[in-house]
Every structure is written in C-alpha cells, then in structure tokens.
Structure 1
C-alpha cells in the first residue's frame, strides 16, 4: 500500500523472520509499526533454511579444531566448506577476528551466551505462532544428529559436553536405534544424538506470511520499498527509501540480515558483519522419506521433511554476498544426499541464501552507538529462525524504553569497539 510521510512508533527494515517477528511483537504490544522490504516477506534467507527450531544450537561455528582442520576443509572436495581466498584477503578483519574467537576460552564464552539466550527462544516464538494461527506449520518430533565415523564422533565430544553443560536434553543413540527411527538411511552410521523436544517448521515463508497478515490485521503497515539511508536526531529518525520517500518514526529497527550494513546512517556500516552463504536442494517426491530433521555432522547439512518435499540444506561458503551461485556447492549436496539415502534422483529445486554472521557467532542486538533511536537486531547466523521471536520481543522492549528480561550485554554492538 502507498504510505505517506506518517509518524510511526517503530520503523522496521527487513521482512525476514527476525524483522517480521519484531514487527508483530511491537504491533501486538501497542506500537504503531511500519515494516519495509522490497521483496516478499520471508522470501530471502528465511525461505531456504534447514527449518529447525534449534534450541540445542549453543555450539558456535568457531571451534578450536578449526585451526587443525582448516587446511583439510579448504582443499578437500568432500568438505562442507567453500572459501573464496580472494574474498578472504579483501576482508581480513572478519577472518582474523573469526579465527581469534576459535580459542577455547572464547568458545566457552560464546557457547554460554548462546545457551542462555536459547532458553528464551520458545517463549519468544510461541506467542507469535499462536497469534498467526500457524500451529499447523510446526512439527514436534525431535531432531537427530548423526556421525558416520568414529573419528568424527570423538572429535565432537567436547562440543557435546558443552551442550550438556548448557542444559541441552539429548540421548545418545546406537546405529540400530537410529535406523529404527529412520529406516531410509543408507549410509553406515557410527553414533547419533536425539535432541528431545526439538521442533521444525514445514514452510517458513508461509509462517512469515501468516505473521504479516496478523500484523496488518492489528493495524501494522507494510511498505514494499528498500530503506537506503536513515537520519536519527534527538526526536526520532527519518528513513529514506529508494524511491525518495521520507518516513518519520520515533525509532528504527535494523533487521535486514546480511544486508544490514548497506543501510547508511545507522552506524552498522562500521561493524564486521560477514556472510555465510548457504544452499539447499529439494526432492519433491520424497516428502515422507524422513520423519524429523537429520543433521549429518561430517557432511555439514540437514535433511528436513518439508511441506513440499525433502530438503537438503547446508554448506558454508565464504564469498561475496553478490557472487553467483556456486554449482560445486549444489553438486556437493546432491552427491552427499545420494550417499546418505541411496538413489533418490535429481533435485527439483536449488537455492542460495546468505546467513548474517558476526566473527564471534553472536548476534548484534541493542542500540546503535550512533543513536539510541536506532536498534540493531541482526547477525543470527544459523539460528535466526530459532531466535527471531525472543529478538523481536527484546527490540519491542527497547523501543518502549523497557529493560528486556533477557540479558543482552553479550550481544551489544559496542563489543566491537
């Protein structure tokens, strides 16, 4: 709809799951909200994820083993990591900071921060699911994580110990127990974990769409425009859209994921936001092939039963956000999915998305150093879907001048100096 220069309590930039959760929470709490995005809500990175509500995901991508395994990961065609060396050389700040955060002490700190935050994930997301009447999109059937080799499982011992220390509820499973749960697995399995109580979403874009509809029923507005620049002052903030429109609001929430640093005037431009490019392929005729998400640790992907088929989602590609789709990543996912499940044919859909990742694998949530009229909420890396609800509630509290119930000191933008 066309929006004139009206006053809003909160302008939200970005209509992915984090942005829409923020907009719905804020509108539900009585604020007058405008959300801006040039694309269909939920059609970006939210659309293509592994779709797990990963409350167990307190282990950062950073890990002490990276130092030892990095040469192998970068050179082996069976690696779930793809790295553009030229891009890395052009962005040394992010790369060096990421490696620094692979130290054991830092990993323990990051895991503790994520673990504590994840305990509030369901409380933040469930009210929005109920508000949007999207309970039918949620499946509660646990989640499996499997290792195909003894070495891989033993190397993960310290990470799994960290999970246990953070209160994650899981059972260790034998190969026979895993096959009883998922008989279509063809790959020999050494050991696995079952994350009890884990859920997944069968259609994340539909979830965002229903949240948008409820947001608008409650009086919220959606503007199909990109915000390119903002000007905060003592009394509010002015957002400038790509078509020249100026919109005035009391506060602005920056929830544009991997493109958050492209909005000028917010202060986010100075933060070391990186992009982990991720891929998925979809097999439409194998919708019921598995009954729950299965993460294959060594291969770096999840197999998730979706509304439209079997999705194989994963890979970490370090490259420019605007680089072309890397066919070798699609080939890798296809080859490994055939290895896991046997002959399931060719994929019917391929996809590339962009995970917004800070070098310490923690999100950025809080007031911008430039102005407390601007609130940051991005950098959720692999768990944006999981943390969207609680993040939206925190942003709403900040917009209302209320101290959030969750401690967000670890996520402050100021931690990067």
Structure 2
C-alpha cells in the first residue's frame, strides 16, 4: 500500500494549488519542497490574476524590434549571449514561435486555459479564507508614445477576438484613475475583469495552512528522484524513500532536475524576472499598472510599492544582474516621480518553454507521473486551474479543458 495517494514536488503557487485541490477532493497528499511554500519564484510576482494575459512573449514584434530590444540600454529584454550560444536550439525554437501563425495559435491556447482560471483559483481563495487579499480594481495598461500606442492595437484586438474584455480609457480618465502617474499617456486600456492580490506570499501561506488543516502532509526536503511502475511511484526526497499512487512534478524552473521524472529532455528554459520594493510607497498606485514600453508593472503590495517585470534570458544559476534592478528603479521614477532608496530587491526564475505554453498532463513515460510546470509569467493566474486539472487526471477523470496543446510530447518549434 502506498504511503500517499499523491506526492507533489514543488510548493510554489502551482504545486501548492495541486496539493490543495487534491486534498480538498479527499486524497492523502504529501507536499515536498526544501523551502517554505511560496517563498521561491511565486514570492516575487506582479500580484495580478492576469486573465487577460493570453498574448505570449513570443510575438511577431519581438522579431521586428529584436536589435533594439537586445542592444538598447532602455530595453525591457536582457539576453546573455553566452547562455544563448550554449542553448541554440531553445533560442531558435523561441524565435520560430515569434512568427505570426505560431503566435496566434499560442494565444488561442492560452486564452482557452485562462478562461477557466477564475474557476480554478476561486475555490482555493475560499478554502484559504483569503477573500480579504483579493482586490477587484482591474489592471491598467498605459503607453507613453504614439508609436507604441499604435503598435498595441493588433494585440488588443487579438485579445478582444479571443474573448478578453477591456475598455479604452482616455488619458485624462487614466490620470483620474491613477493620479500618481507622472509619465505622458498616449493610450490607456483598463482590463476591468482582472483582479490582484495584496500579498501572494500570504495567500500561499494560507493555502498551506488550509492544506494542513485538511490533513495534508509536508516534507521539507528536495525531491531528488522518481521511479514509476504500473502500480505507483517511488520518490527519493532528502534521502527518504516515499511511495505514492501518483507523483506531480511542479518544481517550476527546477522541474528538469529530478532524476527519472522524464523532464530532462524537455526544453525548459528560464525567463529571469526582477522586482524592486519601496516600503511605505504602496499609495503611488491603486491597482497593477503596466507601462507598455518599459515592460514592467507598478503594483500596490501589502508591504509597499512593488516594481516588477522585464525579461532576462540567462542561465538559472547566473548571478543577479544589477543592471536589471537599476533599469526598473530608473523607469519607476520616470513613471511615478522620485522614489526613495529601495527597501529590497529580488530575482526569480520564470519557468518557460520555447512556445510559452506550460506543460500540463501525464508524462509520456508513465501515467503515474503528472507534469505541472512552465507557466512563465502567469503562474499565479493559472496555478488554480492547473491544480484542478492535475487532480482530475490523478482521479482518472476527463478534464473539461483540452490538454493536447500542453502535452509534454508536443512539438515546441
């Protein structure tokens, strides 16, 4: 007899969601992670339940503006050339998916999954008694140049065609909504259906508390290896052997480091993201505000103002890039006026496949091993629905979402 029904490797928002959904369904669940739940990449996100975020980083505009993105000091993209040379297949696949046809296909798949996001996370918010952390003021996107404002049109119309609601807001109204903005506004769009969280770390902490209260167990250890058979799986974590009916690999950017999980051959990359916190400055904005040209968000957080975003394509173990932090702080001052010295800085590792779609489903090697990783910028948004879908699969249910686009054995080019 197995020790557990389901063992989940990874306690970020995706792994924690998988564990809580399974425990809510009455399964005996073990959550495995060497760190506190939510203290890794999930800790530093943009606090936004971004149900509008169906446009992938893989976008045709990346190809047309690649030189300026790569070489401008004011670029929201940073690329390690050494890392790119060591991973040419990932880079070429990523760029291939920036073409118009793949980008449209990817956006459609993401929009379909995002349309179920609220149904996935709302039961977790209730179970965690976290309703007080949810803010329903939408998200405001602004562009400060005519060129960028016009360039945004195709993407916005693509979102609308895929069922994402948004409202055009004139510049004066945008400043009434967010009087703390100091930059010129040429265009503004309000994604009014979006929500945000005052403190994602606190949300995950409460999720874990609810998980434990329902009988869920936690092992503070690193998941090192998994071995599957026809009747179950055996995991090695912290030198301890554990048996379970199913294992869920939800370790984010580290998911391909678990021996025997079948993930090593997958093209899992990392979009490194940064944030800068300013204590006692949360009043600068009243909802997440994205500045299109600068590629980052200003977010009101329970602990202050969080400026977060940009993309750095570099090795998982590369040192923190202080130029990224300086860029965000500099652009933050342009956006909101003079800011004090940051109270903290942070680097996280967004797990990304070259087509910007997550891997959700069964391992091609064994139905006993389930994959739940690669959610790039929208792990917080998609964690809940991923947890529900993974629990469906573990139970042998037919999910109400087509998981073929997220299969591990799909073509990534």
Indicate the residue corresponding to 2:291 in structure 1. Answer: 296
Indicate the residue corresponding to 1:374 in structure 2. Answer: 369
Say whether residues 1:77 and 2:73 are aligned partners. Answer: yes
SS at the partner of 2:226? strand
Contact 1:55 1:119 in 2 (8 A): yes
Contact 2:272 2:348 in 1 (8 A): yes
Corresponding pairs, count:
412
SS at the partner of 2:299? strand
Contact 1:271 1:416 in 2 (8 A): no
With structure 2 as the length reference, what TM-score do the two structures score?
0.98
Match 2:390 to one of 360, 375, 395: 395
Indicate the residue corresponding to 2:28 in structure 1. Answer: 32
Contact 1:12 1:23 in 2 (8 A): yes
Output aligned runs, 1:4-403, within 5 Å: 7-241=3-237, 243-403=238-398
SS at the partner of 1:371? coil
CA shift, 1:405, in A, is 1.1
CA shift, 1:100, in A, is 0.7
**1:239-293, CA deviations, whole angstroms, 9 ceiling, x for partnerless residues?**
011x311000001000000000001101111100110000000111212111110
SS at the partner of 2:65? helix
SS at the partner of 1:275? strand
State the distance in 1 between where 2:239 and 2:344 align.
Answer: 37
SS at the partner of 1:268? coil
State the distance in 1 between where 2:61 and 2:203 align.
Answer: 36
State the distance in 1 between where 2:55 and 2:135 align.
Answer: 23
Question: What is the Cα-based RMSD across aligned positions, in Å?
Answer: 1.0
Contact 1:10 1:249 in 2 (8 A): yes
CA shift, 1:327, in A, is 0.4
CA shift, 1:99, in A, is 0.6
**1:121-177, CA deviations, whole angstroms, 9 ceiling, x for partnerless residues?**
000000000001001111001110010111011112111111010111111112111
SS at the partner of 2:309? strand
State the distance in 2 between where 1:347 and 1:372 align.
Answer: 47
Contact 1:302 1:313 in 2 (8 A): yes
CA shift, 1:416, in A, is 3.3
State the distance in 1 between where 2:411 and 2:263 align.
Answer: 11
State the distance in 2 between where 1:188 and 1:208 align.
Answer: 37
CA shift, 1:6, in A, is 6.1
State the distance in 2 between where 1:205 and 1:6 align.
Answer: 32
SS at the partner of 2:261? coil
State the distance in 1 between where 2:336 and 2:93 align.
Answer: 38
Contact 1:8 1:248 in 2 (8 A): yes
With structure 1 as the length reference, what TM-score do the two structures score?
0.98
State the distance in 1 between where 2:202 and 2:73 align.
Answer: 35
Contact 2:2 2:232 in 1 (8 A): no
State the distance in 2 between where 1:323 and 1:49 align.
Answer: 20
CA shift, 1:42, in A, is 0.3
Poorly superposed stretches of 4+, deviation over 2 Å: none
State the distance in 2 between where 1:34 and 1:205 align.
Answer: 20
